[in-house]
């Protein structure tokens, strides 16, 4: 696929990819490769590791350096296998708790896109995100790709689902989804979820159709659907039924005491989605917030 560089808007040139050398790291790198090849991006692969617990006094520095070299080699081997020479990349291995390392680095350098695994733990009634993913989504000032589900097939995608609520911020999110659909040769479906007591289905469909910007229709193939019920449930169900490769979802950050939180629908979709989710922060929301405290 040729890199797409002429469309205004979303052009991720600097991608930070978080890996922990778990089996999920390969999937994370696969998604980073798809985006990087499409946009001619450079990829920074970040691995954070806590110091080994077996160090003895007087040998700490030598052992840490040896471990860092070994980890760098392991990450490099995986990156070479998945990214090869087609995607320019470099590797950073830092010592410390992964949450603290990642948040500290993002405070110094804000990338255009973060790619990371969800580290979810499947349960009977819930999916809990790992602390790294949870903290990064709470404080990041750029789009975040939360990798879940199957590996992308080839260099493109087949179907992208973008939930909207007919707001200005949803329009920005839909435009970004349209760019991705155009670049990755995917079909884009816009989903409007309405409460049962809201206006009739026909009226909502007319409102959605009128809301879609004309420029978006010229970018890619678009379909529209209106579903009644809880927004998060309808989004997850639709993503599963349509076998979506990606859900592009607006992420509105909210303040709760000294913490930054996500909206209920955003958080539930991120946790339960059967496929990868691209969270798009509402412009200006996070930048206005005071520094956040990591969740342990």
CA 232 to chain centre: 17
Please indicate whether the domains covering 14-147 and 159-288 agree at the CATH topology level: yes
Residue scoring higher pLDDT (107 or 277): 277
The pLDDT of residue 270 is 85
Asked whether 115 and 15 are in contact (CB, 8 A), the reply is: yes
Q: Which fold has domain 159-288?
A: Rossmann fold (3.40.50)
DSSP 120-141: -EE-SS-EEPPHHHHHHHHH-S
| Residues 113-136 pLDDT 10s | 999 998 644 433 333 345 677 777
Give domain 14-147's CATH architecture: 3-Layer(aba) Sandwich (3.40)
Task: Break the chain into its structural domains and give their ranges.
Answer: 14-147, 159-288
Asked whether 245 and 274 are in contact (CB, 8 A), the reply is: no
Helix-helix angle 131-139:98-108, to 10 degrees: 20
Question: How is residue 79 written in tokens?
Answer: 């990156």
pTM, whole model, 2 decimals?
Answer: 0.83
pLDDT over 90, % of the chain: 46
| Residues 2-40 pLDDT 10s | 444 334 578 999 999 999 888 889 999 999 999 999 999
Residue 48, pLDDT above cutoff 90: no
Average pLDDT, the chain: 80
């Amino acid at each position: 696929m040729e890199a797409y560089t002429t469309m205004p808007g979303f052009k991720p040139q600097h991608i930070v990819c978080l890996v922990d050398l778990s089996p999920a790291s390969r999937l994370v790198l696969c998604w980073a490769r798809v985006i990087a090849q499409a946009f001619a991006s450079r990829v920074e692969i970040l691995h954070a590791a806590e110091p080994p617990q077996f160090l003895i006094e007087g040998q700490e520095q030598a052992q840490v350096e040896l471990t860092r070299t070994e980890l760098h080699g392991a990450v490099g081997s995986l990156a070479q296998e998945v990214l090869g020479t087609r995607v320019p990349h470099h590797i950073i291995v830092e010592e410390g708790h992964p949450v603290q390392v990642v948040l500290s680095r993002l405070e110094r350098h804000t990338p255009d896109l973060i790619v990371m695994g969800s580290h979810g733990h499947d349960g009977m009634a819930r999916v809990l995100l790992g602390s790294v993913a949870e903290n990064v989504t709470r404080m990041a000032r750029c789009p975040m790709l939360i990798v879940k589900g199957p590996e992308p097939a080839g260099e493109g995608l087949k179907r992208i689902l973008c939930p909207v609520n007919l707001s200005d911020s949803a329009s920005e999110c839909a435009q970004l989804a349209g760019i991705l659909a155009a670049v990755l040769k995917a079909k884009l479906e816009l989903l409007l979820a309405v409460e049962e007591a809201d206006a009739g289905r026909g009226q909502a469909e007319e409102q959605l159709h009128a809301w879609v910007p004309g420029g978006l229709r010229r970018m890619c193939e678009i379909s529209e659907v209106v579903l009644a019920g809880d927004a998060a449930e309808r989004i997850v169900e639709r993503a599963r039924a349509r076998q979506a490769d990606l859900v592009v979802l607006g992420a509105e950050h909210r303040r709760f005491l000294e913490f930054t939180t996500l909206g209920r629908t955003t958080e539930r979709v991120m946790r339960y989605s059967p496929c990868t989710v691209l969270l798009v922060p509402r412009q200006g929301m996070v930048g206005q917030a005071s520094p956040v405290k990591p969740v342990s």
